[in-house]
Protein backbone atom coordinates (compact mmCIF):
# COMPACT_ATOMS: atom_id res chain seq x y z
CA UNK A 1 0.00 0.00 0.00
CA UNK A 2 1.33 3.42 -0.96
CA UNK A 3 2.39 5.76 1.83
CA UNK A 4 0.48 9.03 2.16
CA UNK A 5 2.09 12.46 2.39
CA UNK A 6 0.30 15.67 3.33
CA UNK A 7 1.85 18.89 2.02
CA UNK A 8 0.69 22.04 3.82
CA UNK A 9 2.07 24.86 1.67
CA UNK A 10 0.47 28.06 0.37
CA UNK A 11 2.93 28.55 -2.49
CA UNK A 12 1.28 26.64 -5.33
CA UNK A 13 4.51 26.19 -7.30
CA UNK A 14 6.35 24.65 -4.35
CA UNK A 15 3.35 22.46 -3.48
CA UNK A 16 3.10 21.07 -7.01
CA UNK A 17 6.86 20.52 -7.18
CA UNK A 18 6.69 18.54 -3.94
CA UNK A 19 3.72 16.58 -5.27
CA UNK A 20 5.69 15.68 -8.40
CA UNK A 21 8.70 14.39 -6.52
CA UNK A 22 6.71 12.63 -3.81
CA UNK A 23 4.49 10.83 -6.32
CA UNK A 24 7.61 9.82 -8.25
CA UNK A 25 8.91 8.40 -4.97
CA UNK A 26 5.73 6.33 -4.55
CA UNK A 27 3.63 8.51 -2.25
CA UNK A 28 -0.02 9.42 -2.49
CA UNK A 29 -0.13 13.17 -1.95
CA UNK A 30 -2.74 15.52 -0.48
CA UNK A 31 -2.19 19.28 -0.54
CA UNK A 32 -3.55 21.99 1.76
CA UNK A 33 -2.96 25.67 0.95
CA UNK A 34 -3.79 26.97 4.44
CA UNK A 35 -3.33 25.82 8.03
CA UNK A 36 -6.99 25.18 8.76
CA UNK A 37 -7.33 22.83 5.79
CA UNK A 38 -4.05 21.23 6.81
CA UNK A 39 -5.43 20.31 10.24
CA UNK A 40 -8.62 18.87 8.71
CA UNK A 41 -6.72 16.79 6.14
CA UNK A 42 -4.32 15.54 8.83
CA UNK A 43 -7.36 14.12 10.62
CA UNK A 44 -9.25 12.79 7.60
CA UNK A 45 -6.40 11.51 5.41
CA UNK A 46 -4.32 9.93 8.20
CA UNK A 47 -1.03 10.67 6.39
CA UNK A 48 2.24 8.86 7.06
CA UNK A 49 4.22 12.12 6.96
CA UNK A 50 3.39 15.85 6.93
CA UNK A 51 5.48 18.51 5.19
CA UNK A 52 4.50 21.75 6.90
CA UNK A 53 5.29 25.34 5.95
CA UNK A 54 5.33 27.93 8.75
CA UNK A 55 4.03 31.08 7.08
CA UNK A 56 0.47 30.00 6.26
CA UNK A 57 -2.94 31.72 6.13
CA UNK A 58 -5.69 30.88 8.68
CA UNK A 59 -3.34 28.98 11.04
CA UNK A 60 0.44 29.22 10.91
CA UNK A 61 2.63 26.13 10.85
CA UNK A 62 3.33 26.20 14.58
CA UNK A 63 -0.40 26.24 15.34
CA UNK A 64 -1.00 23.41 12.88
CA UNK A 65 1.80 21.35 14.45
CA UNK A 66 0.39 21.90 17.94
CA UNK A 67 -3.13 20.88 16.90
CA UNK A 68 -1.95 17.77 15.03
CA UNK A 69 0.12 16.73 18.05
CA UNK A 70 -2.99 16.75 20.25
CA UNK A 71 -3.98 13.34 18.87
CA UNK A 72 -1.31 12.14 16.46
CA UNK A 73 2.39 11.28 16.40
CA UNK A 74 2.63 11.39 12.59
CA UNK A 75 6.12 12.53 11.51
CA UNK A 76 6.18 16.30 10.80
CA UNK A 77 8.91 18.05 8.84
CA UNK A 78 8.81 21.85 8.93
CA UNK A 79 9.54 23.54 5.58
CA UNK A 80 10.25 27.24 5.82
CA UNK A 81 12.35 30.16 4.69
CA UNK A 82 12.94 31.00 8.36
CA UNK A 83 16.38 29.78 9.38
CA UNK A 84 17.02 31.46 12.73
CA UNK A 85 17.77 29.22 15.70
CA UNK A 86 14.66 30.52 17.53
CA UNK A 87 12.39 29.32 14.72
CA UNK A 88 14.03 25.89 14.64
CA UNK A 89 13.77 25.51 18.41
CA UNK A 90 10.15 26.66 18.36
CA UNK A 91 9.26 24.06 15.72
CA UNK A 92 10.97 21.29 17.68
CA UNK A 93 9.25 22.32 20.89
CA UNK A 94 5.86 22.17 19.15
CA UNK A 95 6.56 18.53 18.32
CA UNK A 96 8.12 18.64 14.84
CA UNK A 97 10.47 15.77 14.03
CA UNK A 98 12.73 17.65 11.63
CA UNK A 99 13.26 21.08 10.11
CA UNK A 100 14.52 22.04 6.67
CA UNK A 101 15.13 25.56 5.37
CA UNK A 102 14.13 26.71 1.88
CA UNK A 103 15.60 26.51 -0.67
CA UNK A 104 16.35 22.82 -0.18
CA UNK A 105 17.63 19.94 -2.28
CA UNK A 106 14.85 17.47 -3.12
CA UNK A 107 17.16 14.49 -2.53
CA UNK A 108 17.92 15.76 0.97
CA UNK A 109 14.23 16.30 1.68
CA UNK A 110 13.34 12.78 0.52
CA UNK A 111 16.16 11.34 2.65
CA UNK A 112 14.80 13.16 5.70
CA UNK A 113 11.26 11.95 4.98
CA UNK A 114 12.38 8.33 4.83
CA UNK A 115 14.53 8.80 7.95
CA UNK A 116 11.71 10.12 10.14
CA UNK A 117 9.34 7.46 8.82
CA UNK A 118 11.79 4.68 9.67
CA UNK A 119 12.15 6.06 13.17
CA UNK A 120 8.39 6.04 13.72
CA UNK A 121 7.59 2.65 12.21
CA UNK A 122 6.09 0.23 14.75
CA UNK A 123 8.43 -2.45 16.01
CA UNK A 124 7.90 -5.99 14.76
CA UNK A 125 7.75 -7.36 18.29
CA UNK A 126 6.60 -4.55 20.56
CA UNK A 127 7.52 -4.69 24.20
CA UNK A 128 6.42 -2.52 27.08
CA UNK A 129 8.34 0.74 27.14
CA UNK A 130 7.82 2.04 30.64
CA UNK A 131 10.44 3.08 33.18
CA UNK A 132 9.75 3.98 36.81
CA UNK A 133 11.96 5.82 39.27
CA UNK A 134 11.35 7.84 42.42
CA UNK A 135 8.58 10.36 41.54
CA UNK A 136 9.13 9.69 37.83
CA UNK A 137 7.38 7.48 35.26
CA UNK A 138 8.45 7.52 31.61
CA UNK A 139 5.87 5.68 29.51
CA UNK A 140 6.90 5.57 25.86
CA UNK A 141 3.93 3.38 24.93
CA UNK A 142 1.50 6.19 25.73
CA UNK A 143 4.07 9.00 25.46
CA UNK A 144 3.24 10.11 28.99
CA UNK A 145 5.65 11.67 31.44
CA UNK A 146 4.52 11.54 35.09
CA UNK A 147 6.53 13.76 37.42
CA UNK A 148 5.67 13.75 41.13
CA UNK A 149 2.25 12.19 40.32
CA UNK A 150 1.46 14.87 37.70
CA UNK A 151 1.25 14.35 33.96
CA UNK A 152 3.64 16.74 32.20
CA UNK A 153 3.00 17.59 28.56
CA UNK A 154 6.19 16.66 26.72
CA UNK A 155 7.01 16.69 22.98
CA UNK A 156 7.65 13.22 21.49
CA UNK A 157 11.36 13.72 20.84
CA UNK A 158 11.98 14.87 24.43
CA UNK A 159 10.21 11.71 25.63
CA UNK A 160 12.31 9.51 23.38
CA UNK A 161 15.53 11.20 24.49
CA UNK A 162 14.71 10.87 28.20
CA UNK A 163 13.64 7.23 27.78
CA UNK A 164 16.86 6.44 25.91
CA UNK A 165 19.04 7.97 28.62
CA UNK A 166 17.06 6.44 31.49
CA UNK A 167 17.08 2.97 29.88
CA UNK A 168 20.79 2.71 30.71
CA UNK A 169 21.30 4.71 33.91
CA UNK A 170 24.76 6.20 34.54
CA UNK A 171 25.93 5.54 30.98
CA UNK A 172 27.38 8.65 29.35
CA UNK A 173 26.26 9.43 25.79
CA UNK A 174 27.95 11.90 23.51
CA UNK A 175 25.77 14.33 21.58
CA UNK A 176 26.54 12.53 18.33
CA UNK A 177 25.58 9.18 19.85
CA UNK A 178 22.24 10.61 20.93
CA UNK A 179 21.65 12.11 17.49
CA UNK A 180 22.37 8.72 15.92
CA UNK A 181 20.36 6.63 18.37
CA UNK A 182 17.38 8.91 19.07
CA UNK A 183 17.08 11.05 15.94
CA UNK A 184 18.61 8.50 13.53
CA UNK A 185 22.02 8.25 11.91
CA UNK A 186 20.86 10.13 8.81
CA UNK A 187 19.49 13.12 10.74
CA UNK A 188 20.87 16.29 9.17
CA UNK A 189 20.67 18.61 12.19
CA UNK A 190 23.52 19.65 14.49
CA UNK A 191 24.37 18.67 18.06
CA UNK A 192 22.77 21.81 19.52
CA UNK A 193 19.44 20.05 18.99
CA UNK A 194 20.39 17.68 21.83
CA UNK A 195 21.31 20.60 24.11
CA UNK A 196 17.93 22.27 23.49
CA UNK A 197 16.02 19.09 24.37
CA UNK A 198 18.11 18.45 27.49
CA UNK A 199 17.50 22.03 28.65
CA UNK A 200 13.74 21.60 28.28
CA UNK A 201 13.77 18.27 30.09
CA UNK A 202 15.73 19.79 32.98
CA UNK A 203 13.10 22.50 33.34
CA UNK A 204 10.53 19.74 33.86
CA UNK A 205 12.65 17.52 36.13
CA UNK A 206 14.99 19.75 38.15
CA UNK A 207 14.77 19.19 41.90
CA UNK A 208 12.03 16.55 41.76
CA UNK A 209 14.08 13.79 43.41
CA UNK A 210 17.50 13.34 45.01
CA UNK A 211 17.68 9.76 43.72
CA UNK A 212 18.22 10.59 40.06
CA UNK A 213 19.12 13.52 37.80
CA UNK A 214 20.03 14.51 34.24
CA UNK A 215 23.74 15.21 34.35
CA UNK A 216 26.10 16.98 31.98
CA UNK A 217 29.50 15.32 31.68
CA UNK A 218 31.56 18.28 30.56
CA UNK A 219 33.42 17.76 27.32
CA UNK A 220 31.63 14.45 26.70
CA UNK A 221 27.83 14.55 26.79
CA UNK A 222 24.92 13.58 29.04
CA UNK A 223 23.71 10.80 31.31
CA UNK A 224 20.71 9.87 33.46
CA UNK A 225 22.37 9.42 36.83
CA UNK A 226 21.07 7.21 39.63
CA UNK A 227 22.53 7.79 43.07
CA UNK A 228 24.27 4.78 44.59
CA UNK A 229 21.72 4.37 47.37
CA UNK A 230 18.90 4.10 44.81
CA UNK A 231 20.54 1.33 42.78
CATH 3.40.50.300 fits 4-120, yes or no: no
Name the segment(s) of the chain with CATH classification 1.10.10.10.
130-230
Give the HSE-up count for residue 69: Cα atoms under 13 Å, Cβ half-sphere.
Answer: 23
Nearest to 162 by CA among 182, 187, 189, 192: 182
DSSP H stretches of helix in the chain:
12-24, 35-45, 61-69, 85-93, 106-120, 156-167, 175-178, 192-205
CATH 3.40.50.2300 placement within the chain: 4-120
pTM of the full structure? 0.55
Q: What is the dihedral of CA 140, 3, 186, 69, to 10 degrees?
A: -40
Distance spanning both ends of the chain, measured CA to CA: 47
Residues 46-89 pLDDT 10s: 999 999 998 899 999 889 999 999 888 899 998 877 666 666 66
Confidence of residue 231 (pLDDT cuts 50, 70, 90): very low
Question: pLDDT for 99-158, tens place per residue?
Answer: 888 888 888 888 889 888 887 776 554 567 899 999 999 999 899 999 999 999 999 999
CATH topology of domain 130-230: Arc Repressor Mutant, subunit A (1.10.10)
Amino acid sequence: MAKKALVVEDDGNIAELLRLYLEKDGFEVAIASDGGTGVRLAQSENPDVILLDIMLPVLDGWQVCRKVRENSRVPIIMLTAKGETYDKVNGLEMGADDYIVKPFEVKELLARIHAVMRRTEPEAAPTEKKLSFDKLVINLDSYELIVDSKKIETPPKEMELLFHLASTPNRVYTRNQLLDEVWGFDYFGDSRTVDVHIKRLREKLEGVSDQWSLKTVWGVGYKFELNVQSL
